[in-house]
């Protein structure tokens, strides 16, 4: 029998609750708390005169505590519209849909942006989730073109989609573990168009990454550099981790989420096995603090003072919940771990006090510690995957036993 419960979560967030509540009351309190906090985003209040070429998408807070906005070309730009779409999905309130449509439309021209691999990150939380909820045909057209743009970065010799064009002195053809997340756009496009090219490229990239990105314990490197002419592996680095041979926490989250999603789309057991192997690394080898929110790199021994990464926990929680639906053998283990992460993220240690942090939900994420960038701050993608995890948890509870 499924025991997916968020009782602790709702008790923590239901301010002033002193008497037992039923499930619907706890759901209402949770969504009310989240809605009230998100309403503090300044960008929600004046959307009439937004320009598509302006920096209007929330990403994080500056060191002085001000809201940092980025342009549509930033890799995180799709997550704020995704947050709004999830709020519409969870509440059914038209106000969230109206705002989501505004911010989604601002990304429309990105369907032609072939400068990096981040189209999936931008388009699936915005146009993808929007299409799922509204069936807006214009969204579908944007997504298909986005997929066409993304596959122009595929190299047959390498068997992967090129991630970055910068730092050419360091990498000839870099592929990062994050790139797995962008494959969902290609799987979606293949289903919608019937064109197997998108599917085949996604599967080839997934298999090449599985071959070259992972160590024997199924921890992952961040960047694998290839020879673009021969496909030979030249280098393996962990660019955003503590050291090349260390295990960057969010990188492991991308790997877990990525192969779980790839199994969902292919039903190929090799991808389920890969997701389970990554899950085993996270559950049984990686070093976690007691509250199950990791520090920014699993190979760091000082888990008390090193910065945490709430975004990694949010991504993992969402991935574990989906992975639990694909296996009976490990289902309870995955659900239990996801619940521990969600419960911790929902305490006042990580969840913003009402009105604080300009409207962000979660505190204590780490963007790139080696670059001394975005350390111990809110990050918009942490909020997005947190809401996705909550949505999956609620939906899992609705499934028959």
Annotated binding site for substrate: 118, 178, 238, 250, 254, 368
C-alpha to C-alpha distance for 389 and 257, rounded to whole angstroms: 11
User: Using only C-alpha atoms, what is the Rg of the chain?
Assistant: 20
Residue 383 catalytic? no
Contacts of 362 (CB under 8 A, 6+ apart): 310, 311, 314, 345, 350, 351, 352, 378, 379, 382, 383, 386
DSSP per residue, 195-261: -HHHHHHHHHHHHHHHHHSB-TTS-B-SEEEE-TTT--EEEEE-TTSSSTTS-BHHHHHHHHHHHHH
Q: Give Cα 173 to chain centroid, integer Å.
A: 24
The active-site residue out of 27, 74, 118, 372 is 118
Classified as helix, coil or strand, 315 is: helix
Show the DSSP H helices in 325-379 as ranges.
331-345
Query: At 28, phi and psi to the nearest 5?
Result: -65, -40
Question: Would you give the DSSP letter of residue 323?
Answer: H
118: annotated active-site residue: yes
Q: Report the helix count and the strand count for the chain, using DSSP H and E.
A: 14, 9
Catalytic residue among 98, 178, 299, 309: 178
Residue 197, judged by CB atoms within 10 A of its CB (0-12, 13-18, 19+), counts as middle
| C-alpha 374: how far from chain center | 17
Residues catalogued as catalytic: 118, 178
């Amino acid at each position: 029998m499924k025991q997916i419960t968020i009782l602790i979560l709702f008790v923590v967030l239901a301010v002033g609750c002193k008497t037992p509540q039923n499930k619907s009351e706890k759901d209402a309190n949770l969504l009310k708390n989240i809605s009230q906090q998100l309403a503090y985003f300044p960008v929600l209040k004046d959307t009439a005169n937004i320009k598509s070429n302006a920096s209007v998408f929330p990403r994080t807070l500056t060191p002085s505590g001000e809201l940092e906005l980025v342009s549509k070309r930033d890799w995180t730009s799709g997550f704020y519209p995704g947050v709004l779409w999830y709020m519409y999905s969870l509440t059914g309130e038209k106000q969230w849909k109206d705002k989501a449509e505004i911010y989604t439309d601002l990304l429309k021209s990105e369907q032609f942006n072939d400068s990096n691999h981040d189209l999936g990150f931008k388009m699936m939380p915005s146009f993808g989730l929007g299409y799922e909820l509204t069936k807006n045909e214009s969204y579908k057209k944007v997504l298909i073109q986005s997929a066409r743009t993304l596959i122009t970065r595929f190299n047959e010799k390498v068997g992967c989609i090129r991630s970055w064009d910068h730092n050419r002195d360091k990498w000839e053809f870099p592929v990062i573990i994050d790139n797995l997340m962008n494959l969902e756009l290609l799987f979606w496009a293949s289903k919608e168009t019937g064109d197997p090219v998108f599917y085949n490229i996604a599967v080839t990239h997934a298999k090449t990454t599985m071959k070259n990105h992972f160590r024997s314990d199924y921890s992952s490197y961040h960047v694998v550099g290839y020879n673009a002419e021969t496909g030979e592996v030249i280098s393996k680095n962990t660019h955003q981790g503590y050291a090349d041979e260390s295990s960057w926490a969010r990188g492991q989250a991308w790997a877990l989420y990525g192969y779980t999603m790839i199994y969902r789309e292919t039903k190929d057991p090799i991808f389920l096995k890969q997701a389970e192997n990554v899950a085993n690394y996270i559950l049984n080898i990686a070093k976690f603090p007691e509250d199950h929110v990791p520090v920014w790199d699993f190979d760091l021994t000082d888990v008390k003072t090193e910065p945490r990464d709430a975004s990694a926990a949010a991504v993992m929680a969402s991935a574990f919940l989906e992975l639990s639906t694909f296996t009976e053998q490990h289902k309870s283990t995955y659900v239990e771990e996801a619940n521990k992460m969600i419960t911790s993220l929902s305490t006042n240690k990580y969840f913003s006090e009402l009105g604080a942090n300009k409207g962000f939900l979660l505190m204590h994420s780490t963007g790139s510690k080696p670059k001394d960038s975005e350390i111990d701050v809110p990050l918009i993608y942490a909020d997005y995957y947190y809401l996705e995890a909550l949505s999956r948890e609620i939906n899992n509870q609705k499934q028959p036993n």
